[in-house]
Amino acid sequence: MKRSEIPQEQVWSVESIFADEAAFDAAIEQLNSDITALHQHKDTLTQGEDQLASFLKARDGVLAATERIFGYAFLKFSEDGTDAANQALLGRAMRVAQTVEEELTDLRDALMTVPAERLEQYANADGPVATYRLYLTELAANRPHLLDPKAEAALAAMGEALGAPSNWYRTVTGADMRYQPVADEEGKEFSVSTFGFMFRVETSTDLEFRRRAYESLTNGYRPYHNTLGVSLATEIKRNVAMAKLRGYDSTAQMLLNAGDATGTPSDSVPVSFFERVPGVILKELAPHMQRYARLRSRVWGIDKLSFADTKAPVLKDANRRVTWDEVQHLISSSVEVMGSEYKGIVERAFRERWIYRGENIGNLQGAYCNWVPDVHAYVFAPFHGIAYDMFMTTHELGHAAHGTYAYANQVQQNRSSSRLFVEAPSTFNEHLLAHYLRQTGGEETRLHTNCLQLFTFHHNFVTHLIEGELLRRLYLLADAGEPVTASVLDRVQLEVLGEFWGDTVELDEGAAMTWMRQAHYYSGLYPYTYSVGLTASTVLAQRLAAGEDVADTWINVLKQGGRVHALDLFRQAGIEMDSEQPYKEAVAYVGRLVDELEAGLS
């Protein structure tokens, strides 16, 4: 379908942000004026705590306005990236965001002229600046890695150009790449896309449909193999060069700890933490996932799984057809355990059109939640009418609830938590849905739910963590001066997949090109954080299932936003994420899901 053919009830209410394009342009004009006003604070930053507090408050206003403008443009681009008007909107938003970044960089450098001990004094006192404690402490931590102000200004001015690889990827995969349609389970024409393959095809129990779509996907990627290889290699080279320029010991150290001009919290963890996560999970999870692969081979009567089969549920009816009304009812019911306020947020999302569920030509290839200041969250989750859509939708609504609490309780600077924490609220919602389905259904429902949850664990503990491990190895190669090319990407991808799956899965050309499927490679080391978040939510969900009252504690953590570092947020929830125990506990839970399926199919 075309975007214009999607019914209104399936699209979000972007008019809640700006009534029309004229209002969008007026907001840009106002923001440019606000940037000029913000610049006037530059000469007062060293004059005392009150002046600093006044600057930080004005800075919050500029950040919020930028989020609204960019959010609106990106939402429109997500609907249809092939639309020239949407491309132009995003271009205008990116230009003003670039201007903001340049100004914030200049002001950050001016702020660095305040003696470190005085900033520390402000941050640790109970005065008006204390609210911004984390931002100021991260500034202090990054001070040794800042360049001369002129060099920082030059890098900020080149921000849009330096971000080009990510834009290339989204444009190629969202607007240019085409796939041959294939027949689905019922013989109807199915339009293949990266996102549709990930959630509609890979969860299908029809082996021939999966393999037809996999071939179409592989054929669609093949002409862009070298183009996207150059794109990702350029992203990696840029980060390697920046890490050396800023004096980090490795690129991974920079990506885990460096701040940016907007002050979004970093993961703030040592490289050893990043290396430990795949080291524990991939090693201990592999036997369980190989066991599940062999179970499917036995049940389906095939010698070995193809790479197209690795996520499919073993039970034929697990990913049954569902209606949107059913999705709304089950998700709303599943979050009731979190209290009326939490449930109310979810119901508002359905009622007030926070969700874009239409599936059309030009859709962004992925799902996400974007919170727009002074409006509400927006969820992009195209609906395919299958059971796993419930998990994908409630996942994004977990982000929406997190954002709602954070935006209501924090200043703009502290509303966004680091990526290390951000996938915990979303995957916790998935656990709530699984818990509700098991509580209200019989043995068959329980086994079906196991299949759907194993898809979630595959997506976050296998797919995303293998992405993280691939990035770890690529950055080690690049740090050592080794070239990264499309063939290197293929080779390392197959190495990681082969180590995980052993002899249970047939790895082919399509498997080697898995690195072409995901935009996460252009977001630092983001992929590994999915497994951190899912680990924490699994531990929390097990406590809930055991009868513990976790709702109030968890909601209080969500209200913190990004006011403290992620590991401290996890500690407030009673989880020590810098130890191995939570990861082992989460992997053991996956093992029990496979145990139950083996017993149920014996």
Condensed to tens digits (0 to 9), the pLDDT of residues 120-148 reads 888 888 888 999 999 998 888 888 999 99
C-alpha 482/C-alpha 549 separation (Å) is 52
d(CA 107, CA 59): 10
Residue 74, in any domain of the structure = yes
Query: Is 264 part of a structural domain of the chain?
Result: no
How many folded domains does the chain comprise? 1
In a domain, 158, yes or no: yes
Least confident of 54-58, 126-130, 528-532: 126-130
Model pLDDT for residues 1-41, shown as the tens digit of each residue: 899 999 999 999 999 999 999 999 999 999 999 999 999 99
Q: Which residue has the tokens 């290197």?
A: 488
pLDDT tens-digit map of 87-131: 999 999 999 999 999 999 999 999 988 888 888 888 888 888 999
For the chain, what is the total number of helices (H) and then of strands (E)?
A: 25, 7
191/212 Cα distance (integer angstroms) = 12
Instruction: Give CA–CA dist 403/397, Å, rounded.
Output: 10
Q: Pick the more confident residue, 199 or 592.
A: 592
Confidence at 171, pLDDT banded by 50, 70, 90:
confident
309-359 residue pLDDT tens: 999 999 988 989 999 999 999 999 999 999 999 999 999 999 999 999 998
Phi, psi (degrees; rounded to nearest 5) at 74? -70, -35
CB–CB of 384/204 below 8 Å?
A: no
**553-559: average pLDDT:** 98
Long-range Cβ contact pairs of 179-188 (< 8 A, separation 24 or more): 179/216, 179/217, 179/219, 179/220, 180/216, 180/219, 180/220, 181/216, 182/209, 182/212, 182/213, 182/216, 183/209, 183/212, 184/209, 185/209
Longest alpha-carbon distance in the chain? 76
0.75 exceeded by pTM: yes
CATH code where residue 62 lies: 1.20.140.70
Distance CA 188, CA 195 (A): 19
Residue 95 lies in a domain: yes
Structural domain of 70: 3-162
Answer yes or no: is 124 within a domain: yes
In a domain, 141, yes or no: yes
- Written as six digits, the tokens of 112 are 């660095």
What b/e string do you get for 208-246 counting C-beta neighbours within 10 Å, with b at 16 or more? ebbbbbbbbbbebbeebbeebbebbbbbbebbbebbeeb
- Decide if 241 is inside a domain: no
Written as one letter, the residue type at 594 is V
Query: Is 440 a member of any domain?
Result: no
